[in-house]
Amino acid sequence: MNSPISHEGNAETYVFLALTDNIGVLLHDRTTGATASIDAPDADAVLAALEHTGWTLTDILITHKHADHIDGIPGLRQRFPSVRVTAPLSERDAIGDVDVTVIDGDMVMVGSLRAKVIATPGHTLGHVVYWFEKEKALFAGDTLFALGCGRIFEGNAADMWAALDGLRHLPDDTRIYCGHEYTLANAKFSLTIDPNNKALQERARSIEALRKEGRLTIPSLMSDEKATNPFLRGDDPTIASAVGLTGHMAAEVFAELRERKNHF
């Protein structure tokens, strides 16, 4: 079951499932009619979402080079020849068929909607996220998940912790659109680390109910992530103690969390 269209100012967002567990998102500017697909996991799923909403694709915002985020580009380009593909500069060659390249601090427009590009190396070295401040929306790719974070395929734990530390300083009412529906599994892991966290317990119950109904759990709120996501709390003594690293640096605590999740 896909999520209903949500509204924030001049922006509308539509969240849907793609491939097996990828989260697809369309961002629509009601002022100009411009519409962006955040990543392109699967052309058929994006095209079905566009048909459902009645929107016309003008942009594709790519967060990183992995196949399950870019394989839909050719099919979408075939259907919308003038679509503009924006992607991180350092991963341009791996992605291919890119019109606009971006680096940390750049601004991207989708119609009248304005996003800041934030570099978040760790999952891949060139990974970026798109923060639409006015619309209170963060398109986080595979850096920050609901109750989790991405695996570290490139870079190191210190890189990833620094990226996550930067994101957690965004406003509490920021809605986080991540790249995968991993939330139930992440909740189960989080409870092994922080079992006495009442906010986490309540959130886990809500997530389980949503998934039983076939509903998606995305987006999540930054305030909820800061309270319940252990990967954003490497400097929390409770989390450090839980992994036997009391007094250690936050990046070390984070590294241990990530390693445990890899084998969960």
| Annotated catalytic residue, options 69, 106, 127, 194 | 69
* Residue 28 is among the residues annotated as catalytic for this protein: no
Nearest of 20, 24, 28, 19 to residue 2 by alpha carbon: 24
**Partners of residue 177 on adjacent β-strands:** 139
* Residue 235 is among the residues annotated as catalytic for this protein: no
| Annotated catalytic residue, options 39, 42, 64, 159 | 64
* Dist. CA 170–CA 17, nearest whole Å: 26
Tokens 């697809």 appear where?
A: 24
What 8-state DSSP symbol labels residue 230? G
The residue length of the chain stands at 264
* Residue 97 is among the residues annotated as catalytic for this protein: no
* Residue 169 is among the residues annotated as catalytic for this protein: no
* Residue 7 is among the residues annotated as catalytic for this protein: no
What 8-state DSSP symbol labels residue 174? -
| Annotated catalytic residue, options 39, 68, 159, 194 | 68
Tokens 């799923």 appear where?
A: 45
* Residue 180 is among the residues annotated as catalytic for this protein: yes
Q: What interhelical angle do 157-167 and 250-262 show, nearest 10?
A: 110
* Dist. CA 168–CA 81, nearest whole Å: 37
* Residue 142 is among the residues annotated as catalytic for this protein: yes
| Annotated catalytic residue, options 29, 66, 106, 127 | 66
Catalytic residues: 64, 66, 68-69, 123, 142, 180
